[in-house]
Structure 1
Amino acid sequence: MATPIDPSSTAFLMAESRKAPMHVGGLQLFEPPEGAGPDYVGELYRQMHTVEEFEPIFLKHPHRSVGTAGQYVWVEDEQFDLDHHLRHSALPQPGRIRELLDLCSRLHGTRLAVERPLWEAHVIEGLADGRAALYTKLHHALTDGVSAMRLLQSVLSSDPDERDMLAPWALRKRRSKAVESANLAEVPIKALRTALGLSADAAGMPKALVTTLSRGLRNESATLALYAPKTILNQDITASRRFAAQDWPTERLRGVGKATGATINDVLLAMCGGALRRYLLELDALPDTSLVAMCPVGLNAKQAGSASTSGGNAVGSVMVRLGTDEADPGARLRTIHTSMREGKAALGTMTQNQILAMTAIGMAPAMLTPLLRLQGMVRPPFNVIISNVPGPRVPQYFNGARLAGMYPLSIPMPGMALNITTTSYAGMMGFGLTGCRRTLPHLQRLLIHLEDELAALELAAGVN
């Protein structure tokens, strides 16, 4: 039976192109359980392949025709072939993390076939240290990055002795509670849809719009940036991808935050800002004014229809000045802390509908610029997207195999060649950097710069 596809998912299907595949991904590393044999990864693949009933989300694909009046609908794949979606891969020697990230880069740059269900999973062996890897990708029309992570986490357990655990795509009798998306790419579509029925909020919209534009002109806006400089990050992109990943102890970030009065997220952004400054300096491409990052934030409802800044169920974006024009790491962290605090405070004065509408206004230039092919010719609305997704706080296992690390892969877009997404897991903060390989040379050097910047922040904060 055909099911209509919502406007947000349709937008991702229509926006997709060869140079901009619209899927999110994830890389998980597993340590084999004690006593595992040399064919452990092969056994893991065969176990994941032994599925008789599937969750519906893994069986449907988009379709449109004259019979659907040209509209996209979900239909079940009558020729579903698990071998197409679940694959067993091996790394070339010497089986370093470098070879693993190269493979993930190639896999992530390939579009999913719309005539099939929009997902793939690759069980990967050949790591020299004996670990197994799992790379997965799901189309953004099917699910957002946050929900995809929750879906994969739902098959894990904190019990290392639990066995007979099902693959993520296997049908479950007990369905986990749905997790609300916090992905900002959906916000403009939601805003346009919600704006049709603003009801009581309509009276406050003109004032909110005037306030947003006024703050934007003064370079103070929470949702609208008019001062982002032109950089090499904001050119047209190709289909080639480079994925770089590494994690750091969350306690190191927390230590800097405690010593300076900043949040862990502030410190994370300061690491990114400092790393981008170092990277652009190496390329002699650092602009005189600060780079601007678009950061998704969660907002809890204070009361029906309004929002606060303590984190939760409304979603907005804050345009954060990364302080890349400042050489001092401490000053950069203070700039970011102030920018984020003021941005959240501004959003806290708006209702949810106003937040969505204002965010849509802020996102509109990012959507129109590639459509009009103006990348590199006009100032971008922001320079980079930086997201932070919380993950499990305690170690997780899959049939006795310990999850040793998890790293998100996201979506570079025309005019936005780099996406940085992080996730916390069991005391570590995993960074996933997804960029256009041809637009941004030596992207993996950002990992070195992230470590150098964290060390510089610790020194500036007086943390041993």
Structure 2
Amino acid sequence: MFKELEQWGRDPKLGELDALMWRTERHPESSWTGLVVQMLDRPPDWDRLREAHAWFVDMVPRWRDRVVDPLVPVGTPTWVPDESFDLDFHLRRVALGGPATERQFLDYCQSVALVPLDRSRPPWVTTLVEGLEGGRSALLLQVQHVLMDGMAFTHLLSRVLNPAREPMHKPAVGRTHAEPVGQVKVTRDEVSRQLQAAPRLVAGLAGGVQRSLTHPRDSLRYADSLRRVLTPPAANSSKVLQGGSRRLWRFGTLECAVADLKSAGRAAGGSLNDTFVAVLLGGLRRYCAAFGEDLGDVPISLPVAMRTPENATGGNKFAGAFFAAPSGVADPAERIREMHRRVDIVRSEPALDFLGHLTPALNRTPSPLATALLGSMNARSVLTTSSWPGIAEERYVAGAKTERMYVFAPLPGTVLTGAMATHVGVCCVAMNADGETFEDSELLWASMRESLAEVLALG
């Protein structure tokens, strides 16, 4: 297990998707930086927590690395060791005044998430928050998506957190860090390498398309799929859900038993993810109804995981799907079935990852242009959702039990994001809403709770 950690994220080159996320980051209005919240049953021992982080960043060297951009934007950035790495900058501790309620705590999380990370350092900061109701505490990890996706993070946590409150023996790292690489050297090497690689990138893209079109029958099927993939869903017609600046983030949560949500999905003929998305769509319907609007279908962006559990060692591996979600369907069971049908269609598209083939070309354009192109695609969507299986067994952090884990995703052009990670039999749903679009955030959270209750009643 520990040998696997040493190999986690060892490739010094950012993948094409990771590079695009890094280059197009404009926090917070067009962001790829999120906040992972681990709710703990009590405050962890600070000395043990600090010692555990020191061991971790030595065992997993990627977390000591920073990203270096080429001075000439012709290629992808590079991971290099941060020669001035300071753990005390990345690990912080605060106490909220008095026993903070859940709402007061989430308001604090919003303020933390809106502060940009220092791009000259490793792109993460962990904050221990004490002073919560019931003697609880929380760990907040603000992290840039370039480090990993949700499945990779869960894979990592399940291996480094303790299975019991008592300290776990951890082997000494016993190795020397790689020699720091200066920006001038990286930039010179990258300019040469990327310029030489440009013709191969073009040929690779053309070859990929050509291989997809080898057989006449396959050619027609792929061309028809490509037409559907590249045809954006109808624009958002809702007057209530028109986008704001995405500079005001508002956090809300939902939770229920995994078994209960699965049961509701089975009763309606959908998967766990179909049911989760149907809950969010139902909440949006209720919110709009409060303003006198009968919400129709809205465009949605849905990441489709392309990684397997055996290949969960850093970076990002997913394809983006854009389609019309059935928010216009009032009946919750019918909404789940229709969501299932539409997701099946999207997942079966032969050309689903065609936009992924274009990512290398986007990375060779000026950053403002790549940002504008990517933003124009995301801006058509009202909602972005993501879900993945989280930690299945109880885990502890420096003597404190991890009771829940919420992942508050950013707003990459959309007005609402919902991320669901399961945690020891509980569905933990974290929602981030644009405060200018949803002026009454309490009404939004109440609408989501009512939608969840309506869906769970199906089971």
**Shorter-chain TM band:** 0.7 to 0.9
CA contact (8 A) 1:64 1:71 kept: yes
Q: Does 2:212 align with 1:201?
A: yes
Deviation of 1:233 (Å):
4.5
| 1:22-171 pair list within 5 angstroms | 22-32=32-42, 40=44, 42-43=46-47, 45-48=49-52, 51=55, 54=58, 55-64=60-69, 72-157=77-162, 159-160=163-164, 162-164=166-168
Q: 1:237 aligns with which of 235, 239, 245?
A: 245
Alpha-carbon distance change, 326 to 144 in structure 1, aligned in 2, over 3 angstroms:
closer
Q: 2:439 aligns with which of 435, 441, 444?
A: 441
CA contact (8 A) 1:93 1:126 kept: yes
Cα displacement string for residues 125-179 of structure 1 (whole angstroms, at most 9, x for unaligned residues): 101211121010222223333323332332124x325523669xx9599xxxxxx
Alpha-carbon distance change, 149 to 193 in structure 1, aligned in 2, over 3 angstroms:
farther
TM-score where L is the length of structure 1: 0.74
Q: Does 2:302 align with 1:295?
A: yes
| 1:212-223 pair list within 5 angstroms | 212=225, 216=228
Identify the residue that residue 428 of structure 1 maps to in structure 2: 426
Q: Does 2:392 align with 1:393?
A: yes
CA distance in 2 between counterparts of 1:433 and 1:192 reads: 39
Q: 2:224 aligns with which of 205, 211, 218?
A: 211
Cα displacement string for residues 217-247 of structure 1 (whole angstroms, at most 9, x for unaligned residues): xxxx7x7543242445552524332222231
**Structure 2 gap ranges (5+):** 1-10, 176-200, 309-315, 363-367
CA distance in 2 between counterparts of 1:70 and 1:298 reads: 25
CA contact (8 A) 1:23 1:410 kept: yes
Cα RMSD of the aligned pairs, angstroms, is 3.9
Bigger relative contact order (CA 8 A; separation at least 6): 2
Q: Does 2:335 align with 1:332?
A: yes
CA distance in 1 between counterparts of 2:398 and 2:169 reads: 6
Q: 2:330 is matched by which residue type in structure 1?
A: A
TM-score where L is the length of structure 2: 0.75
CA distance in 2 between counterparts of 1:66 and 1:369 reads: 17
| 1:357-376 pair list within 5 angstroms | 357=354, 371=372
CA distance in 1 between counterparts of 2:380 and 2:297 reads: 13
Identify the residue that residue 267 of structure 1 maps to in structure 2: 275
Cα displacement string for residues 357-404 of structure 1 (whole angstroms, at most 9, x for unaligned residues): 167789x9xx989727997xx995432111111112232223442210
CA distance in 2 between counterparts of 1:406 and 1:30 reads: 9
Alpha-carbon distance change, 156 to 444 in structure 1, aligned in 2, over 3 angstroms:
farther
CA distance in 1 between counterparts of 2:75 and 2:305 reads: 35
**Structure 1 gap ranges (5+):** 33-38, 174-190, 302-312
CA contact (8 A) 1:243 1:434 kept: yes
Q: 2:214 is matched by which residue type in structure 1?
A: A
CA distance in 2 between counterparts of 1:120 and 1:42 reads: 16
CA distance in 2 between counterparts of 1:316 and 1:265 reads: 16
Cα displacement string for residues 419-443 of structure 1 (whole angstroms, at most 9, x for unaligned residues): 1111111111010112332333233
CA distance in 2 between counterparts of 1:374 and 1:296 reads: 15
Determine helix, strand or coil for the equivalent of 2:336. Answer: helix
Q: 2:16 aligns with which of 7, 30, 45?
A: 7
Alpha-carbon distance change, 427 to 274 in structure 1, aligned in 2, over 3 angstroms:
same
Deviation of 1:448 (Å):
2.5
Q: 1:342 is matched by which residue type in structure 2?
A: I
Q: Which range is displaced more, 48-57 or 14-23?
A: 48-57
Q: 1:341 is matched by which residue type in structure 2?
A: D
Q: 1:15 is matched by which residue type in structure 2?
A: T
Alpha-carbon distance change, 361 to 292 in structure 1, aligned in 2, over 3 angstroms:
farther
CA distance in 2 between counterparts of 1:379 and 1:314 reads: 18
